[in-house]
């Protein structure tokens, strides 16, 4: 059996161990320390923002962003429906209620049209959300100009979930720096990794100071331990930050490699009738965290599940596109706004979509194995001559 091909494995630069040794030599083992400060500065410089708070996960960063937006029990928060569950769960940590917004075909991300309808209805009902969480799916930016315009009209705080999109651009700006708060993830399967970790970025540096305070158990300044608020233990460890500093040095290469993997798949499979790759609108550049494509059931007999299962037999890991949050048992009963009254784009993408192995360390031979695997899983259509 050939070696297993993973969807998105970690890809070390080779410099990480030396950087960890540096942290060990200084005996900064406990959470926080000089590597965390360096990691935060490097992130702020890379994406062009005033401030960064390094945290133990992307999920923690979303939780804190919602706190900074003032979300409280009983509040409403809008969120992209087509995403990983971690985008949404922090809404519930705070006792707030999610309302899900459909995708648009051009970006697969939050539909400005659905958002506008949802905000209009919410304003009529006097139930405007405290925040909108916009996800940049698979490294592709949502249409932020349209989304920011609508949210500013209603005075709503915008949180960008750029967990998969660090380094993606939208009209010259970096994903995560356009809204009020941006979130990155350094989980093992992301573009770069600290094994586990995340970051919250913003130009509101006073708010970030408050996030730092909340993330370190909300200790008030005193010679004893004084608290008047519930805090969290969410800061990143100095050792993990050392890994992050080395990984950040190669993020541009990593993104270029993922984009090259996408190009290869598209060249090899894109001509086949019924296959459509995730679009990349001209106003920016996706990280192509995962190569995603759809299979048109009118032209291709095999379903995404068939393909995933057949690739598994060949020891190749692939995945269907995220199952939308409005369709999850966990969030049954939550309100959902479709792109058009009679067209749910996220449901269609889930029905038809598949993600191929996309790691930046995926060798050309292995890319060929995936391509051959997909070709055979799709079952050639024999023409009767």
Ligand X SMILES: *Cc1c(COP(=O)(O)O)cnc(C)c1O
Helices (H), 270-335: 304-313
| Closest chain position to ligand X (CB) | 58
Residue 301 CB, nearest approach to ligand X (Å): 31
Cα 74 to Cα 86, 98, 186, 363: the distances in Å are 20, 10, 31, 49
**Based on CB atoms, which residue is closest to ligand X, 83 or 285?**
83
293 by Cβ neighbours in 10 Å (0-12 / 13-18 / 19+) ranks as buried
C-alpha–C-alpha distance, residues 168 and 164, integer Å: 9
Residue 215 CB, nearest approach to ligand X (Å): 14
Residues that bind ligand X (CB under 6 A): 57-59, 83-84, 86-87, 135, 161, 163-164, 185, 187, 198
Decide if 19 is catalytic. no
Residue 63 CB, nearest approach to ligand X (Å): 10
Of 19, 190, 207, 323, the active-site residue reads 190
**Based on CB atoms, which residue is closest to ligand X, 57 or 111?**
57
Q: Is 226 helix (H, G, I), strand (E, B) or coil?
A: strand
Residue 58 CB, nearest approach to ligand X (Å): 3
Q: In the Cβ-directed half-sphere of 32, how many Cα atoms lie within 13 Å? A: 8
382 is written with which tokens? 């024999």
C-alpha–C-alpha distance, residues 183 and 206, integer Å: 17
**Based on CB atoms, which residue is closest to ligand X, 128 or 327?**
327
**Based on CB atoms, which residue is closest to ligand X, 164 or 366?**
164
Tokens 């990143």 — which residue?
A: 236
Active site residues: 190
């Amino acid at each position: 059996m050939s070696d297993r091909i993973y969807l998105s494995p970690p890809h070390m630069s080779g410099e990480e161990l030396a950087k960890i040794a540096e942290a060990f030599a200084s005996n900064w083992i406990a959470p926080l320390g000089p590597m965390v400060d360096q990691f935060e500065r490097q992130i702020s410089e890379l994406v062009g923002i005033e401030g960064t708070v390094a945290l133990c996960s992307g999920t923690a960063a979303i939780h804190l962003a919602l706190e900074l937006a003032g979300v409280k029990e009983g509040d409403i928060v809008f969120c992209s429906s087509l995403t990983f569950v971690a985008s949404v769960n922090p809404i519930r940590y705070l006792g707030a209620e999610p309302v899900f917004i459909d995708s648009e075909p051009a970006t697969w991300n939050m539909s400005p049209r659905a958002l506008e309808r949802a905000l209009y209805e919410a304003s009529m009902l006097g139930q405007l959300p405290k925040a909108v969480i916009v996800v940049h799916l698979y490294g592709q930016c949502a249409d932020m100009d349209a989304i920011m315009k609508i949210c500013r009209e209603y005075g709503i705080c915008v949180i960008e979930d750029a967990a998969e999109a660090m380094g993606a651009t939208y009209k010259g700006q970096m994903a995560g720096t356009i809204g009020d708060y941006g979130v990155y993830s350094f989980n093992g399967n992301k573009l770069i990794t600290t094994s586990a970790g995340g970051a919250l970025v913003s130009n509101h540096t006073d708010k970030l100071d408050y996030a730092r305070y909340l993330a370190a158990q909300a200790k008030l300044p005193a010679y004893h331990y004084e608290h008047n608020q519930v805090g969290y233990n969410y800061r990143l460890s100095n050792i993990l930050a050392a890994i992050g500093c080395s990984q950040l040095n190669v993020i541009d290469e990593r993104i270029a490699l993922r984009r090259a993997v996408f190009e290869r798949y598209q060249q090899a499979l894109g001509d086949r009738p019924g296959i459509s790759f995730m679009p990349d609108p001209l106003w920016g550049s996706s990280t192509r965290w995962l190569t995603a494509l759809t299979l048109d059931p009118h032209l291709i007999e095999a379903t995404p599940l068939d393909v995933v299962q057949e690739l598994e037999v060949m020891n190749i890991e692939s995945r269907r596109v995220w199952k939308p949050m409005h369709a999850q048992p966990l969030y049954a009963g939550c309100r959902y706004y479709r792109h058009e009254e009679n067209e749910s784009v996220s449901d269609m993408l889930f029905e038809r979509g598949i993600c191929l192995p996309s790691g930046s360390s995926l060798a050309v031979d292995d890319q060929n194995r995936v391509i051959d695997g997909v070709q055979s899983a799709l079952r050639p259509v024999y023409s009767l001559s």
